[in-house]
Amino acid sequence: MAQHTTRLVPDKPARPALLSAEGLRYLLARPSTREALVAYVFLTPFFIFFIVFVLRAIVQAGYMSLHDWKVLGTTQKFIGLQNYTELLNDDVWWIALKNTAVFAALTVAGTTALSLGLALILRRNLRGTNFFRSAFYAPSILSVGIVAICWGWLMNTDFGVINYALRSLGLRPINWTGDAAVVIPALSLVTIWWGFGFPMLIMLAGLQNIPEQLYEAARIDGANPRQVFWYITLPLLRPTLLFVTVTGFIAHFQVFGQPYFMTNSGGPGRASYTVILYLYEAAWEAFRMGFASSVAFTLAIILMIITLIQFFFIGRRVEY
């Protein structure tokens, strides 16, 4: 004979339908829902700002890039991908892209190495550490115009302090902004001095988040400073390095002020001519807003590809 068992645990009450009034009251009664609503309320001003001033501008620029859009024209002719075709067939564009890529690579490499080295030094609790942290960060608050004017004087071929020091040492002066082989490294040097302060603070914060117990264990096991750096510090600093390099490439691929002020808009010749200078001339000298929009979209695609490459090589082995 089959035996029947009595259920001691009552059935859970069925949840009300979400689209009903009871369902809405049920959702609003949950703490997680109330927290999410509060978060969205605080995020609403940002979303409005993003939609009105960023997303709308992106959509408008994409629409303009498909037209022969001229500021002084009355009609805007749809031309499809013709602006992009013209861009890719323009030799000046490839010169500007090459100069920009070399400048960004030199600047990101130099900034990352310098900021990491100084962060390793300033991580120690030495006398005057806070002063040097502030002093190293100070150049980053200057405007690009001030930086360009000051370094233009320092690098002047005739009366610049740097060439004066070279002459005092018996060396030949360098035409920093007039020599095609030197101008990009010179601009990169100026930019590294100007912008290494913020990445240094980011590196310092990343180093301070590494547990001290790992270093103590490594020292007990007999690891030397080089081994500690390569097998503890560097792997655990990869998220910070990824952030610094990604944001660095995005920023330095948009370089404009340094060559505009220091080399007379990309000189000598086009040795320091960059992508943003190319875009600026297309938009505000030739008044070809459609073509300039295609330049901006092409640059955005290039930056996305570079970012994905960085995530592939650095982000895939991130240690948390």
31-35, 126-130, 216-220, 256-260: least confident range: 31-35
- The mean pLDDT of the chain is 88
Assigned token pair, 79: 């031309």
- Residue 282 and residue 215: Cα distance in Å, rounded? 54
CA atoms within 13 A on the CB side of 164: 7
Q: Bridge-partner residues for 77, per DSSP?
A: 68
pLDDT for position 23: 59
Give the pLDDT confidence score for residue 1 in this predicted structure: 47
Tell me how many degrees the CA angle 9-14-15 measures, rounded to the nearest 5. Answer: 135
Positive/negative CA dihedral, 317, 249, 196, 171: positive
CA distance 96 to 274: 4
Nearest to 91 by CA among 255, 253, 251, 273: 273
Query: Distance (Å, rounded) from C-alpha 259 to C-alpha 275?
Result: 11
Token pair in block for residue 184: 């990009």
pLDDT at 16 over 80: no
Strand partners for 78:
67
Q: What is the pLDDT of residues 19-30, one digit of tens each?
A: 556 656 666 666
Q: How many residues does the chain have?
A: 320
The helix (run of H) or strand (run of E) holding residue 163 is: helix 161-168
Yes or no: say if 196 and 136 are a contact pair by the CB < 8 Å rule. Answer: yes
Mean local confidence (pLDDT), 4-18: 52
Spatial CB neighbours of 129, under 8 Å, sequence gap ≥ 6: 122
| Cα(272)–Cα(278) distance, integer angstroms | 11
What whole-number distance in Å separates Cα of residue 182 and Cα of residue 178? 8
**What are the residues facing 68 on neighbouring strands?**
77
Over range 251-277, report the average pLDDT. Answer: 94
Convert the pLDDT of each residue in 155-212 to its tens digit. 998 889 999 999 999 999 999 999 999 999 999 999 999 999 999 999 999 999 999 9
pTM: 0.86
